[in-house]
């Protein structure tokens, strides 16, 4: 008999606990071993029931989800915790804090803290529980937390004003030497990512230098209300500025642009950003749509395509087209991908020139950008 994945549900709402239990019990490979009404109760139940995975609400009395998460991972660093948060700006901020603290992923409640229609994301809940359980192991989670701590230490040492001044001086020198580029960039890095993306991006992007001679476009599958908050989290953690992309902006070296949820980000002219609702795709923003627009605008040798963790195949075709045109493409290796869907599709279709684990991705991007 196949061992079932033991799930502990943590939510202060009795209705949410009931609905989550009903959703999880529809899958024969999962088993709800218990429920908890707050963060403190969750800590006690983890000790008592030894679950394989925990679904954790954020806003709870007695002890909130963030505090409980820290206690749980201190005692059980190998235990995957899936956050279940509200689809609001405030919910987004706390969700990203949870991911930085070690949560493996998140699911958003479609209509607030108490969602009567939670069933509409039932399939996503079941998928992410299984993926979180599959991807979690002591070594990877411990290494991830160590890298997060190292990243925060490095970022604290970065003096952004000084780095920006250095970058400006270099740009001025390039202009005097007649270094040619389209618009305001030497190269464009397009990063496509989905499930498991927030944690991976918070691991990779802070390791990129402030004076990177490229604009970075990040296409993360994410709800519209989350992208602005996520851009601010990334901006605070990175040595170069990152913001939610706005229509009419022109790409610049050493700047990051996060595609807003609900729109397609396309690039036109000399690197000008356009936001549109067409074409209508399963994911908006779509990695393929953005990559293909960049390929139409820039010399292929100026483009670096990157595809990391995520379900499905969005971005795989874009990677193939970039590589065939002469651009550089990098896919995340299966060993670190939370979900080896998107990168696998790119690799199998011949769209990945280089395959590296997430902890080497920043180094690979820098090398690709500096390659003449």
- Residues catalogued as catalytic: 194, 221, 314
Closest CA to 86 of 223, 195, 199, 202: 223
Closest CA to 97 of 40, 152, 42: 152
Which residue matches tokens 């500025």?
241
Residues 6+ apart with CB under 8 A from 174: none
How far apart (Å, rounded) are the C-alpha atoms in residues 199 and 189? 19
Q: CB 186: neighbour CB atoms within 10 A?
A: 19
Q: Exposed, middle or buried, 97 (CB in 10 Å: 0-12/13-18/19+)?
A: middle
How far apart (Å, rounded) are the C-alpha atoms in residues 329 and 296? 16
* Three-state DSSP class for residue 260: coil
């Amino acid at each position: 008999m196949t061992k079932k994945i033991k799930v502990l549900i943590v939510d202060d709402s009795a209705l949410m606990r009931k609905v989550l239990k009903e959703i999880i019990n529809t899958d024969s490979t999962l088993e709800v071993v218990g429920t908890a009404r707050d963060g403190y109760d969750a800590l006690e139940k983890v000790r008592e029931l030894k679950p394989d995975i925990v679904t954790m609400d954020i806003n709870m009395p007695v002890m909130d989800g963030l505090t409980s998460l820290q206690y749980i991972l201190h005692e059980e660093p190998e235990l995957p915790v899936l956050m279940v948060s509200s689809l609001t700006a405030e919910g987004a901020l706390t969700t990203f804090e949870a991911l930085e603290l070690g949560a493996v992923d998140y699911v958003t409640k479609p209509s607030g803290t108490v969602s009567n229609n939670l069933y509409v994301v039932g399939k996503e809940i079941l998928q992410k529980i299984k993926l979180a359980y599959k991807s979690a192991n002591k070594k990877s989670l411990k290494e991830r937390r160590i890298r997060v701590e190292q990243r925060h230490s490095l970022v604290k040492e970065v003096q952004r004003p000084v780095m920006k001044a250095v970058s400006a001086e270099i740009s001025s020198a390039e202009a005097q030497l007649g270094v040619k580029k389209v618009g305001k960039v030497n190269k464009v890095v397009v990063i496509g990512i989905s499930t498991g993306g927030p944690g991976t991006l918070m691991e990779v992007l802070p390791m990129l230098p402030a004076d990177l001679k490229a604009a970075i476009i990040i296409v993360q599958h994410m709800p519209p209300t989350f992208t602005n908050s996520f851009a601010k989290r990334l901006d605070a953690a990175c040595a170069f500025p990152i913001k939610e992309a706005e229509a009419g902006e022109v790409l610049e070296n050493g700047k990051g642009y996060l595609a807003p949820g609900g729109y397609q980000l396309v690039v036109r002219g000399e690197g000008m950003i356009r936001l549109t609702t067409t074409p209508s795709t399963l994911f908006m923003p779509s990695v393929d749509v953005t990559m293909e627009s960049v390929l139409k605008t820039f010399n292929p040798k100026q483009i670096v395509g990157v595809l990391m963790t995520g379900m499905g195949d969005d971005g795989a075709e874009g990677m193939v087209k970039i590589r065939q045109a002469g651009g550089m493409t990098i896919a995340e290796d299966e060993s670190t991908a939370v979900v080896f869907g998107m990168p696998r599709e790119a690799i199998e279709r011949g769209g990945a020139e280089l395959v590296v684990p997430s902890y080497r991705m920043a180094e690979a991007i820098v090398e690709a950008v500096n390659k003449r």
